[in-house]
Structure formats: structure tokens, C-alpha cells
Amino acid sequence: MAAFPLALGSGQASAAAEPDAIADTYYRALLTHTRWSETQWDPAQGHYTDKDFGFAVVLGNAVLLTRGPYDAERAGVDKDTLHARTLATLKHFAASNRLTGGTQWGRKLFWDTTFQSYFVLAARLLWDDLDEATRRSVDTIAREQAQYTAQLGTGDDPDSGGWTPHGLVGGFAGDTKLEEMGVYTQALAPGLAWAGDDQRYDAWRAAFGRWSRNEAGLPAADLANPARVDGIAVSQNTAHNLYDTFIVENHGSFGPHYQEELWRTSGRNAAHFLAAGRPLPEVLTAQPNAGPLWRTLLGVMSDAGEPLMPMVADREHLYGRDVIPLAFLAQVVGDRAAARCELALAERLEAYQAYPPQYRLAKFSGEPKYEPEARAELAISYLLHEWRARSGQAPVQPLSQRELFEQASGVMDYGTGPGLVSHQSPGAWAGAVSKSGFVKFAWQPAHDDWLFGLSGTTPMFLPSAGAKVTGRSVVTYSRLRDGFDGSASLLTLDVGYAGFTTLPSGAVVYASSGTAYGEGHLEVRNLDMPGMPGLDGSRTYRAAEGSATVKARGATSTPGGARVDDLLFTRGQFRHLRMLGVRPDPTYGYSLYAFEIRDGATGTDLARGATAAASSFDPGKEPGLTVDGDGTTRWAVSRADRPRADSWIAVDLGGSRCVDRVTLRWESAAGRAYRLQGSTDGQQWTDLVAWPRPDLTSRGGWLDIDGLAGLVVRGGANPISVYGDTVVLSDGPAESLLVEGLPGATPEELRAAATRKTPSVRSTGVKAALTEFHLSLFNLSSDPATTTVTIPRSPSGEIRLYEGVQTVTESGTDYRAELSAAAAVLAPVRIVLSGRRIPVGLRAEVVDGRTVRLSGPSCHVTVSAQGKSVGATVRAGRATTVTVPRATAYPLADLALGRTTFPTAPLPPGMTDPKAAVDGDEKTAWTAGPDGRMVVDLGAEQHISEIRTQWRGSIPASQVEFSLDGRTYDGAVRLSARGVLNTDRTARYVALRVIAPADGHAALTTFTVTS
């Protein structure tokens, strides 16, 4: 890739290229951020601080000093002062680096070399302004760091403690080694970029290539790829850093921030080569497996260019750190989807920066060192834009937001290990999370980065993310194979059953057997962040009984902390009083200093010396300590129960007493919401008061959240309640629940949906919903279920039919449902019957998406499917089979259809993307190239009875091979002259190898695998 030097080394502004609008935004953000970065100046030391690598602010300074129209008023410091401070810092830290004889910092791979990379780049941008000694030191840092790293081979850095890439083997479960291998590359890159004359250069280049090519290593994919990157075959890779579903874990769960690290590292490294005017190493733009990894991130992308994070919480809303991966992918790789994401993030960046704590680029989560790092990465992102403008390449045209989410749409079950089912649709993102500690059903209408809180242990629909999953049933549906995108998940929990279906439009359905108090839990983000869509300082909730507007809390306020709650209620006689938790402190659960009970304001504390019990307790923090009269001792839930929402503590007064008030003295782990209950026998409890009091309570069965998300609640006696920014859809004891989530539905539409007739089910363990004509069925029991679902007739009079058997009734149809134990299904309309009179008793068996068998009373009907229609006459006593012409027989039996294929890019010479052979489109085709071989990952072990190929042009000689693990293949068998193989094998991976090319051009249009 062509390179043009960006290092001016003059301290003067660059006029080489006009920055684009996004680069302008980055420059302004850097200027504004300077008000924070100048707080890192240590006047006593005469340089920026080394605490949390604060001195890395010099890279942002260098860009401001050598580019753009410097604005001292915005920056809060004049240019000369900034220049002097930057040079003083470069001089000091160049001399104090361990590689130049100092002792303060440097050489240590984790994480000194990351900041060393920023430091060297800053020095190069200001090269002409540095004294000779500092230049020599900076040059030495680049050279000797590369040499130190190369000499480690594949071993660990002894200076870095326990940090390890595990050699070139890597690791993927719980903690990917993608990031660690990237650290080795960025320790080598400055030397490669700036010291090409060094006699040790070839060793550095070899080491850089090894680590870079293995960063996103996945053996099943890499072993199938003979393509050469920087002269080395991808098939020589050895690392396993990804799950086989192309997802990355860090800190024990799916971490989008760390999956982006592949391009964050590439952006840092590329900046050195481009600034030095050297060509980029091929691996930076031909990274093995980068394409599928990016596709995974698009599958969880928000409208703000930041991936949604339903698990790990400590890297969310780090907008300043999210820029560089997008800038690299957009400006260097030329990816239009990344360009849309970068544009969306840039449009929000200054509003984000203005929100308290003002000026900062990394807030809401992360580590202190992220702030100077965000400044450096924003500076690099600016340089990447500048490079593209100077290179003569056309600007990358971003996709529209509609195009982005159409391209990103799809459903994926990432497996039991990652514990994520993800469905990206044009209208919303939705996911089922079964990973321990993060269990939830997540939903983000309109992909809104700031609507619902869904990260970390934040509960969603389930009242707690801490439920234990003992069983997981998942079915995914794809447009190619099934005619629609959707998913049906059902989790068996230690406290019951809960299920979730996701629909093509972005709508969702949640069903529960009743797992705990306060089910249907949603946290709404409510901030006053001018310029950020949706965050205008309040959220409005509308229900059947009226509406309530909840104002945003102040930026520095928090709902947590120590608190005293005085609770008044109607005077009554009780022996037992209990605090039943609804929403715990998100970190520590519940903890009380005192539980006081009185009759009247001046009454004595009847609880003093009484007996107390609790659902759990931490050793040394027993429940009796709340009634001992000592204000310094306390009860706390056990560590294991901290995420549990319905923890409780109860006081037994020893006999029935008249009481009218309770005082709860909370430690900082104060319950965010709870119920106070009374009982005469300790068995039957009566709600006395709820804390906090709801802003809105409704029994109308629907709720509109700020015009962005609509919820329809069916069944159960509990009301819908809104407590500040918390929504509880079943505000009361655990009971069976069904909720439909409708993105963007108006209050009028929600009111109509709530009153619409719904399916009824004869089996008590099965729940059903009819949402946008998709039938969701949930078997919330441990036994298989065969039952009848009564589906109401549509207002148009048409009869909508689902796969299987149903009979027309006066009110609609009776559908025969067969469900496995603890499982859910989502059924689309397959066939529609219409006519002047469709008789009661007509039996319809839908075979597939185009065929139905009709029997029963004589009639003439129109049978429609997928927009096509045909007339049919049914005669009594005879079955009539009707097939709709030109309709597709969904679900298709082809096991290979739409599956992952290998090689992934980069492809070998002469080969086109093998995905074209399994995309269901006969107009696309795979060209093998010389001795070409492709692999299809069936997703799981499957029985295979037939393999069939269709070629454009002559059929080449070819053979298939089978594998269970993607590493070792056997059973190579030649296909027939017609390109067909009948077999009896079990495999997950199926390879097709072209043995001898056919005469002329041959291209594979279809590769079909059936059981």
C-alpha cells in the first residue's frame, strides 16, 4: 500500500491536505481535551506526569502543534507553552527510558510499549524541534525495543509479570490472547518503521509477521488457507485465539472492546509506517480472519458506532477509545460499514466530551490510563484521515444507517461457551445471554446506544443477572434456510424457566414461568447530554392510566450510598416483618445496620433483641446484627447472593404486635428497590409499602418508553411500575408472565395490541404469543408437550397457517403444537387461505413453505405463499395437496446453506470467496483457482447422506474430505462425473478439493449437503 510521510518535524502546521469533516471533529476534540491533558503537567518536575502514563498526552499535542488552526482559547493554553511543555516531556522521558539507560519506564511489553509507541510517534512528528541527544534516545528506543522483543522469540517478557500470549499457541476461552499478541507487534512496529537500516531488521520483520498473522488465529480456518501474507502461508499459523464462531472473550466473557483490539493495534502500528513514508506490511490490511471478526461486531453494533456489550461492563461508552479501530478499518482498509460507524461516533463525540466530567474522552468505564490513551488514539485517527487525503485515494463513502443494519442483519448462536445468541435486525438488536453472572434477555430498539442499560450484571427482563442456568435450548432461523431471521431461546434456571423469541422486525417476546419478585426488569438510561440523541434530560412513560416524566439525575449523582428509610403504613397486627428485595445495589447487594419497628413515632423499637433471619449472610454479618442496638454492626447478603434481586431479611417479634412504621438504616450497599411485608405466621405475607414509590403504576397491560420502545404485558395480576429509571413489568411476587416488545410502537398501537385477542393454550406449562403474525411457543416445563393452541382469526378473514396441522374453527384455528421439554419455537406464517367462505372443520397440514394438504368440507380457496397464489378445490372425503408455484419450500434441508466457509480473506491467488457456493444465489459462484480447496463449517456434527455440486461450465474432477474438528480430515472420496456423492458420514467440516481443473472456466454455483 502506497505511503506518504506524515512526519513533518517542523513544529509548523501542515498544509499538505485539507482534512475532512471527521478529521475536523477530531482536531476540535483534541483541542478541547487539552484542558484536561494540561492537568497532567507537573510544574515541580517540569514535565507531564508518569502517573497512569499521563505523559502520553504528547502525541495529541504533537498533532495540534503541527496540524490545523491551533485555537488557544479552546485549548486553554497558548501554543508556545504547549510546545515547550511537550518538548520538555519528550526530552525527559527519552532519557529516562530503560532502553536508553534510564530506570523510570520502558521496555516492559505490558503496557509500557503501548505508550512507548505513542511517545515515539509524537517525537517523530516534532523531530526537527528536538535536540540531538533526544533524537538519539528516541531512535534507540525504537531500535532496542524491537531487538528486545525479537530476542524473546515466542517466550514471555520477564518484566511483565503474569502477562503472556502463551507463545504462538494462544488461548481463547475466557481470555483471548489476541490482545497480548498485538502487544508484541506494537513493540516491533516503531523499529520496523523508523530503523530500516538496522542490520537486525530482518529478524524484527519475521517476528512482527509471526505475531501479526496469529493475532486472530483460528486453526480450523487457518489450516484451510494456503494464501501467503508477507510471503508466509496462513496455514502455518498455530494460534487459537477465537471461538470457532468468531467471537472473542476477555475478563471471562464476550468483550467487543477486545475484539476491536485487532484494528486498534493495527491503527497504532500503521501510523508509524505511514508517518515514516514506508509501505504497510501486507498483514495489516490482509489480517487472517479479520472479516468474520468484524462481521461479529457488526452483529452487535449500536447506532453510535460502538458495539453493544451485554456482558463485560467495564469497557462500555468509551467513545474516545472506540475511534481508532473504526478509523483504521474505514480510512486504511476502506470498509464502508466501518466508515458509517466512524461517522456516527464522530457525530456524537463532542456532545460526549462536553458531559461531566467535562473535556474527557474516556468516561463511564475503564481505567485511568485510558484517558491519555484516548487522546493518543484520537490523534492517530486524525493522521489516518490525513494519510487517506494525501494518498490520492477517493474518500470512503459511508453506508447509510439503513444500509449498515441491512448488511449487519442476521442471527447467530455463538455457542454454550460464549453464551450468546445475537439477532441484529433493521429495527433492533436482541440477544439471549446464558453466560454465568450475566444471564439476561437483552433488547435495544433502534440499536440505540443510550436507551436500555444492558451491560455487565444489569438485569434485563429477568429480575437478576445472577440466575444459574442449568439448561439451554436455542433454535436460530435464517432468511436463506427458513425464509426469515429469528431465534427462539429457552433457559432452564435454578428458579424456573424463561424464554425469548426475536422477530425479523426487531420485536421480541419474553415468557417466564415466574422466576422471582419483580420480573420484567428494564433499566432506562436517562441523562442530560445535549447533542446526544435521546438524552435530553428526561424520559416520558405512557400507560393506559396516564403518563409520567422522569427527569435525569445530575451527572455526579448516584442512586447508591448509605441511607435511612422511614416507612409508614396502615396500622396493623403482625408478628413478622420482612424486607424483600426487588433491586439490589449492583455491586454489593443488600446490607443493613438496623431494622427498627415501632407503633407510633415515639414508640420503642420493638425489634431490639428480637430474632432475625435472612435469605443469606456473609460470615460476621449475620441478620441478628440488625436488631442488636449497635449502629456499627450490620447484616449483609452472602457474596454469592450479591446479584440476587429477591434477597430478604425478616424480624420475628415473638408474638403479634400493633405496628405502623419501620426504619431501615442502610449501609452503602442500600437496596435500590424493595418491599416491606408483614405476616402473622411467617408463611403468608402482605405487602405493606414499596420503596421507592413508583412514578407510574398501570394495570392497562402496556407501556410506552419515551416513544422508542413499546411493551405489552399479558397475564398475571401484578401491575406495571416505573421507579425512576427502572421499569418493572410484573411488580409483585413471582408469577407467570408474557411480554411483547415492539420497537417504535405508538401508544395507540400499544393500546390496540393490548386489547387484541391472543392465542390460548390448553396446556398450563405452555405459553403462546402472536406477534406480527409470528407464533411464539414456550414450553416452560421439564416434560415434552403436545397441546392445542387456539389462534384467533385475523380481522381480514384470511386464515394464516403455520407449519404442522391445524383445523379451522368459528373463531380462527386450532393448531396442534408439539414441543420438546424446556424449549421454544418461533413459527412464521407459511400459507394463507382466503375465499368467500372457508368452512369450519377444514383441516390443513402445512408441509413446508409452499405445500399444504387440505381435507374436510368441500370448498374452493385461494392458497397463497410468499406473494404467490393458486386456486384449490377441496372435496369432502378426499385430501388435496396444493403446491404454490414459484414459492420456496422453506425450511430448506441443505445443511451447508449460509454456513461459514474457509478460506476466509485473504484468499489464495485465483480463488474467489467460497461463500458464494453456499449463499443460495445461483448467480454467484466460487472459482477454485489452482488446485483449489474450500471448507464448509456445518456449525455442529451432522449426519451426511448426500453431497451435490452444481457448476457453471465443465465439471472438474473433485473430491470431498470430512473432519470433526477442522484440523484433521479423512475419507477423501471422489465425486461422480455429475458432481454428486452418496455417503454415510458424520462430520462438522466438509472440504471440497478440485483435483484437476475442467477444460475451460468452471465455477461452483451450489454446494449442497443433506442428511
Integer angstrom CA distances of residue 734 from 338, 463, 515, 649, 848: 44, 10, 6, 18, 39
Residue 185 CB: number of other CB atoms within 10 A?
Answer: 27
C-alpha cell at 63: 498533532
Amino acid 4: pLDDT: 59
Residue 517 CB: number of other CB atoms within 10 A?
Answer: 25
Residue 823 lies in a domain: yes
Q: Is the peptide bond before 951 cis (omega within 30 degrees of 0)?
A: no
The secondary structure of 746-777 as a DSSP string is: -HHHHHHHHHS---EESSTTEEEEEETTEEEE
Strand order across the 766-771 sheet: 766-771, 774-779, 824-827
Per-residue H/E/C for 837-881? CCCCCCEEEECCCCEEEEECCCEEEEEEECCEEEEEEECCCCCEE
- Distance between CA 739 and CA 49 in Å, rounded? 53
Instruction: List, in order, residues 6 or more apart from 340 with CB less than 8 Å away.
Output: 305, 398, 399, 400, 401, 403, 404
**Which amino acid is residue 653, in one-letter code?**
L
Is the domain of 395 the same as that of 529? no
- Which of 328, 565, 535, 383 is CA-nearest to residue 451? 535
- Distance between CA 200 and CA 551 in Å, rounded? 63
Is the domain of 186 the same as that of 261? yes
Amino acid 930: pLDDT: 86
Residue 888 lies in a domain: no
Query: What's the whole-number average pLDDT of the chain?
Result: 95
Integer angstrom CA distances of residue 567 from 240, 263, 601, 697, 950: 57, 54, 11, 19, 75
Is the domain of 40 the same as that of 93? yes
Q: Which helix (H) or strand (E) holds 269?
A: helix 261-275
- Distance between CA 407 and CA 465 in Å, rounded? 31
Residue whose cell numbers read 402472536 = 770
Q: Contact, 901 vs 935, CB < 8 A?
A: yes
Residue 558 lies in a domain: no
Residue 247 lies in a domain: yes
Residue 952 lies in a domain: yes
Q: Please report, rounded to a whole number, the percentage of residues in the chain having pLDDT higher than 70.
A: 97
- Which of 848, 709, 829, 716 is CA-nearest to residue 771? 829
Amino acid 2: pLDDT: 54
Q: How many CA atoms lie within 13 A of 407 on its CB side?
A: 18
C-alpha cell at 513: 414461568
Residue range(s) defining the domain that contains residue 318: 21-404
What is the value of pTM for the model shown? Answer: 0.93
Residue 202 lies in a domain: yes
The secondary structure of 660-697 as a DSSP string is: EEEEEEE-SS--SEEEEEEESSSSS-EEEEEESPPSEE
- Distance between CA 987 and CA 943 in Å, rounded? 7
- Which of 948, 995, 997, 952 is CA-nearest to residue 976? 948
Domain boundary among 671, 691, 711: 691
Is the domain of 810 the same as that of 947? no
Is the domain of 527 the same as that of 468? yes
Residue whose cell numbers read 477486545 = 258
What SS3 state is found at 785? Answer: strand
**Which amino acid is residue 595, in one-letter code?**
F
Amino acid 328: pLDDT: 98
Is the domain of 828 the same as that of 728? no
Amino acid 673: pLDDT: 86
- Distance between CA 307 and CA 809 in Å, rounded? 47
Residue 101 lies in a domain: yes
Amino acid 7: pLDDT: 61
Is the domain of 397 the same as that of 419? no
Residue whose cell numbers read 454456513 = 899
**Number of domains within the chain:** 5
Give phi and psi for 801, each to the nearest 5. -115, 145
Is the domain of 872 the same as that of 967? no
Residue 894 lies in a domain: no
Is the domain of 442 the same as that of 493? yes
Domain boundary among 709, 741, 756: 756
- Distance between CA 706 and CA 723 in Å, rounded? 15
CATH number, domain of 79, equals 1.50.10.20
C-alpha cell at 481: 434456510
CATH number, domain of 926, equals 2.60.120.260
Instruction: List, in order, residues 6 or more apart from 101 with CB less than 8 Å away.
Output: 95
Amino acid 556: pLDDT: 43
Helix 336-354 with 319-327: angle, nearest 10 deg: 160
Is the domain of 155 the same as that of 188? yes
Q: Contact, 514 vs 668, CB < 8 A?
A: no
Beta bridge partners of 727: 522, 722
C-alpha cell at 716: 398475571
Is the domain of 36 the same as that of 117? yes
Integer angstrom CA distances of residue 188 from 57, 196, 325, 585: 22, 12, 19, 45
**Which amino acid is residue 517, in one-letter code?**
Y
Amino acid 557: pLDDT: 47
Domain boundary among 711, 735, 756: 756
Largest pairwise CA distance in the chain = 101
CATH number, domain of 431, equals 2.70.98
Residue whose cell numbers read 485473504 = 906
- Distance between CA 292 and CA 301 in Å, rounded? 14
Q: Is the peptide bond before 372 cis (omega within 30 degrees of 0)?
A: no
Q: Which helix (H) or strand (E) holds 74?
A: helix 72-75
**Which amino acid is residue 331, in one-letter code?**
Q
Which regions of the chain are under pLDDT 70? 1-4, 6-17, 554-560, 998-1000
Is the domain of 149 the same as that of 193? yes
